[in-house]
Chains A and B, each alone.
Chain A
């Protein structure tokens, strides 16, 4: 676990010093929310209805951008080989890159939730349940995005290929996340939302385990 933290914190330090990645994610995210709010508003009903969808589209794109960024840090500086020559399993590289994204994505998700509440009338009365949904959904999405970003890291056109490969596999995660968010926004009892959380948890565990096991193979030259 020490290696995972070391890699994640080093990447976070690089990202904070560079700022380009986080700023582009924030710019995309802000523009998207404001354009959608302007297009669907000002009446409350259509904005509230669209809120879960808009929130998850924004989070999905943010996660995809950050996953590409996680490996671009290594490819730009030609440092991926150093990580691959570290003794022991290569799954640490995958888990470190995943943790790096989560350290950025989770605060950004909370910010997205606040902005969605402000612009789209998403009710925050059940904020803890919404945050749980965001955490489970983002974890599932980022686990697959990290895997594919690593697979495509050395290929030209990776920015085009990543969404094409990724979106087909993360449909269950996005679907469950959106349905859980809609249920919470509509005030459904937690017992009716809980099955979506269970589904997300299962997908998260399966995706993380499978990705960590397969990751060393995709990095071999």
Chain B
């Protein structure tokens, strides 16, 4: 089991985002989180990553988790090459960053300030593919991607599920149906 949520609840101030949520994820599984804006999808992903603590309940995680926020977070004064080299070194992972940038059609030496939203999303996917986490936590990964980018996303998700588990929050039901083994609906707590 890569991830297990045991009756997890989260509250900000007096407002409950969700209550008593239980969920488990195995290697090779893709779970989609569906729900309207404000239903707690991003909060849940951050809890799963360990970036937030639950108000009640327990999150049990095995292996390395990485979280892809929406929009992806990058230093705009670094280039794609510099970003990937730093990430590979900092995570202690070996990977072919040049091949990744070629595959995702990204210029290696352009500062990220000049990247479009879609290019940043592609770079974020390339980064995840290189870092190979055990648990992929993706917040609206389809946003800002064009047709080609969406095709790459589907490929990346297929590759990810070979040896990892994926949780993705999305508003795109078609994407969820195409890639997810099951869906979890979030609504008002």
Contact = CB atoms under 8 A, between A and B. Distances in A.
Interface stretch (B13-21, B32-40, B72-80, B147-155): B72-80
Contacts of A77: 73-76
A78 B124 CA distance: 14
Nearest to B73: A78
Given A85-B66, A87-B64, A18 B53 contact: no
Contacts of A79: 73-75
Contact of B78 (A2, A10, A81, A82): A10
Nearest to A15: B77
A7 to B, nearest CB: 7
B67 A85 contact: yes
Contacts of B86: 6, 10
Contacts of B67: 81, 85
Contacts of A18: 77
B46 A221 contact: yes
Contacts of B90: 3, 6-7, 83, 86
A73 B75 contact: yes
Indicate the size class of the contact surface on chain B: 20 to 34
A220 B53 contact: yes
B82 interface: yes
B50 interface: yes
Given A6-B86, A221-B46, A87 B74 contact: no
A85 B46 CA distance: 11
Interface in B125-161: none
B49 interface: yes
Contacts of B64: 87
Contacts of A6: 86, 89-90
A98 to B, nearest CB: 16
B91 interface: yes
B105 interface: no
Contacts of B49: 81, 85
Given A7-B90, A13-B78, A81 B69 contact: yes
B88 to A, nearest CB: 10
A77 B112 CA distance: 11
Interface string A66-99: 0000000100011101111111000000000000
A82 B68 CA distance: 9
B136 to A, nearest CB: 12
B51 A81 contact: yes
Interface in B88-103: 89-92
B74 to A, nearest CB: 7
Given A84-B51, A85-B51, 11 more contacts: A2-B89, A3-B90, A3-B92, A6-B90, A13-B77, A13-B78, A81-B51, A84-B50, A85-B65, A87-B91, A221-B46
Which A-B residue pairs are the 7 nearest by beta carbons? Answer: A78-B73, A221-B52, A17-B77, A79-B73, A6-B89, A10-B86, A77-B75
Interface of B: 46, 49-53, 64-67, 69, 73-78, 82, 86-87, 89-92
Interface of A: 2-3, 6-7, 10, 13-14, 17-18, 73, 77-79, 81-87, 220-221
20 contacts: A3-B90, A10-B82, A10-B86, A13-B77, A18-B77, A73-B75, A79-B75, A81-B46, A81-B49, A81-B51, A81-B73, A82-B73, A82-B87, A83-B90, A84-B50, A85-B49, A85-B51, A85-B65, A86-B90, A221-B51
